[in-house]
Amino acid sequence: MKSVRHLIGRSPTWLLIGVAVFIGVLATLPVPQAAEDPARRVPQETFAIVDVTAFDGEAFREGWDVWVEDGRIRHAGQRLDLPEDLPRLDGRGHTLIPGLIDGHVHSFLSTLRDALRFGVTTVLDQSTDPAFAAAHRAARVEVARGTEADLFSAGMAATAPEGHGTQYGIPVETLTGPDEATAWVRARQDEGSDWIKIIYEDGSAFDMEIPSLDGETVAAVIAAAHAEGLAAVVHVSTLETALQATAFGADGLVHVWHDEVVSAEDARRFAEAGIFVVPTLSVMVSAEDTAVAELLRETDEAMLSAIQRQTLAGRFPGGLAEGGNVAMENVRRLRAAGVRLVAGTDSSNPGTGAGISMHGELRLLARAGMGSAEALAAATSVAADAFGVAERGRIAEGYLADLVLVRGDLEEDVSRSHDIVAIWKDGYLVERVVGSAGGEPQAETAPAPAETLVAGFEDGFEASFGAWDVTTDQMTGGSSSVNVGVRDGALVVTGEIAPGLAFPWAGVIWMPGAQPMQPVDFSGREVIRFRTRGDGRQYAVMLISSAQPAGPPPTVTFIAPEEWTQLEIQLEDFPTATPEIIAGLAFVAQGPVGAYAFEVDEVEVR
């Protein structure tokens, strides 16, 4: 079927994230329990950590006392005059660092909770649904006990019609020319965007063609952002667009390019412009796997949520990850030229996990030549300064008591950062919740029948085994619709994707088990084959592998052309460790908003 394989593509960047809402999974997750905590009796809110090696955001300080009062740092320094009755923790043999700041995240559902459990106390989100960002804004100004990292966000990103960022089902107000820039930026400011993010991406670095804003429009959006007092950062993937964005006056670049190695002269240009770069090496080298595997071997698996495990197991199909070595060399050269570098992971893309990947990013920055203090600064004070995030990223008087106590000497070896003894958010000890409290028993995995044909639809909306059903975002408060019928021996799916929800969807789902969402083992099968036709828009096949999925279903997209076409999706194309375990296959529309129509026939798992 090579003649039609071009119609199928793995969904790029964070589409995996959006489809988590498809089954409302987090609403049904078992309540987590705390793991055995070595810092269970650690004081909180008002206390002191004494005689600790502290990284204050810029340098390591030996023998410091850090006095926390009402969730803020009252004093920090050597041999403080502490009240006799002040609860204190002996910090000898440990390193105290500011709460980590992840400079490139796409937030959804459990992201903020997962991040905090690994010491990331502040997340700098580089595009999400503005309503999601607004719902979390109040928490960042409250000094109170919480379970999530603080969220600062660009909100909606600036992009071209059908450009990168429009494929995720989130309503996006696109731009067609520079004359729209001022109104667009003011609309984002009204929504509460903390800065402006611009997509300058034509897909050439990935051997793709993606509609992109032109340079004049990018420059106009940057100028409009600055006129409103907002910083402007630009998504790039090529050296050419990085240089252009810098010339246009961008404040930061939120990826390092990976198409070619920067020259010493061009590296100096970036430094002289005062621009900062968030390399996101975690996602650039994810297919290499060694950095991820090394970190995971040293991490108690019980500390990982199911969503983290799922996204960490995912992989990009070549393309992005193949530029990892180039990206690494570019970071080395930018550092040598004096360019400010901000640590960021681009989680929860394939190969990354919220929170945990920051510790992998520190290792990668060290591999790129950074010393321990330099790498930690990129993940604390430099990140805070670059994005104008106040009261975070330093251990200093008046700053929030967002702190991470790590076992051992981080100055000697920054890779120890994941060996966390305790985390404080606003001075309160973070419960590092893990695992589950049991909940409903998992359905037993059943063997697949010998039959490979799922449905030919000759007998209506029926399956050879298992059952079909409809599915829409109405289960999570959306209003997208679906109508299903059988015409001329084919399944006809029509409806409308409605606005108002971050991740809308509508379509049909096939559940192969004797019970709804019972996992079935299709070991030995290699491909999902089906015929389709439709309105020419992009649709998605989602593979749900568990009766109680705890993360985003692995997804592969396809085009439904006007004429009947047979497509094949290899099971291994789904970014999951167990694609042969299937509790459900969904064929859905996700976006853009509006009417959709497609047909499916002769569905097989071969």
Reported as a single tens digit per residue, the pLDDT across 450-463 is 999 999 998 888 89
Q: Please say whether the beta carbons of 379 and 393 come within 8 A.
A: no
pLDDT reading at 32 higher than 60: no
In this predicted structure, the answer to whether residue 129 has a pLDDT above a threshold of 90 is no
CA distance 92 to 428: 21
**Among 55-69, 255-269, 309-323, 568-582, where is mean pLDDT lowest?**
309-323
Alpha-carbon distance of 278 to 386, in angstroms, equals 10
Tell me the torsion sign for CA atoms 78, 82, 84, 90.
negative
> pLDDT, tens digit, for every residue of 308-338?
877 787 766 544 445 788 999 999 999 999 9
Torsion angle, alpha carbons of 154, 191, 426, 68, to 10: 90
**Pair 551, 29: CB distance under 8 Å:** no
Please state, in angstroms and rounded to a whole number, the distance separating the CA atoms of residues 21 and 108.
9
Residue with tokens 């989602």, as numbered in its chain = 542
* pLDDT tens sequence across 189-210: 999 999 999 999 998 988 888 9
Residue 537 near residue 507 (C-beta atoms within 8 A)? no
Across the strands, what pairs with 544?
584
Consecutive H or E run containing 239: helix 239-248
- pLDDT value at residue 475: 66
DSSP letter at 164 equals T
What percent of the chain shows pLDDT beyond 70? 86
**2-30+443-605 CATH pick, 3.40.50.300, 1.10.1200.10, 2.60.120.430, 3.40.50.620:** 2.60.120.430
Q: Is the pLDDT of residue 14 over 80?
A: no
* 359 phi and psi angles, rounded to 5 deg: -70, -35
- From the centroid of its chain, how far is CA 185? 24
What confidence category does residue 502 fall into, taking pLDDT thresholds of 50, 70 and 90? low
Question: Which residues have a Cβ under 8 Å from the Cβ of 96 and sit 6 or more positions away?
Answer: 49, 52, 53, 54, 55, 64, 66, 395, 403, 404, 405, 406
What average pLDDT does this structure show over 492-512? Answer: 88
Q: Which residue has the higher pLDDT, 474 or 226?
A: 226
For 531-557, write each residue's pLDDT tens digit. Answer: 999 999 999 999 988 644 445 678 899
138-147, 289-298, 559-568, range with the lowest pLDDT: 289-298
Helix (H) or strand (E) holding 307: helix 306-313
Domain boundaries, the chain: 2-30+443-605, 100-366
The region of weakest confidence among 17-26, 191-200, 301-310, 393-402 is: 17-26
CA–CA separation, 243 and 250 (whole Å): 10
Predicted TM-score of the model (pTM): 0.72
CA distance 416 to 406: 8
Residue identified by tokens 């990982």 is 304
> In terms of pLDDT, which residue wins out, 131 or 282?
282
According to the model, what pLDDT value does residue 552 have? 60
Taking residues 358-373, report their average pLDDT: 96
pLDDT at 155: 95
Confidence of residue 2 (pLDDT cuts 50, 70, 90): very low
* Residue 531: closest CA among 19, 167, 22, 7: 7
159 contacts: CB under 8 Å, gap ≥ 6: 165, 166, 172, 174, 175, 198, 199, 212, 213
Chain-wide mean pLDDT for the chain? 87
CATH of region 100-366: 3.20.20.140
Among 284-288, 460-464, 523-527, which stretch is predicted with the lowest mean pLDDT? 284-288
pLDDT score for 378: 98
Signed CA dihedral, 575, 581, 583, 586: sign only: positive
User: Which residues sit opposite 94 in a β-bridge?
Assistant: 407
- CB under 8 Å to 523, separation ≥6 — which residues? 448, 580
CB count, 10 Å around CB of 467? 15
Is 50 exceeded by the pLDDT of residue 35?
no
| Tokens describing residue 284 | 């650039």
Q: Within 13 A of 464's CA, how many CA atoms are on the CB side?
A: 14
Would 2-30+443-605 and 100-366 be classified into the same CATH topology?
no
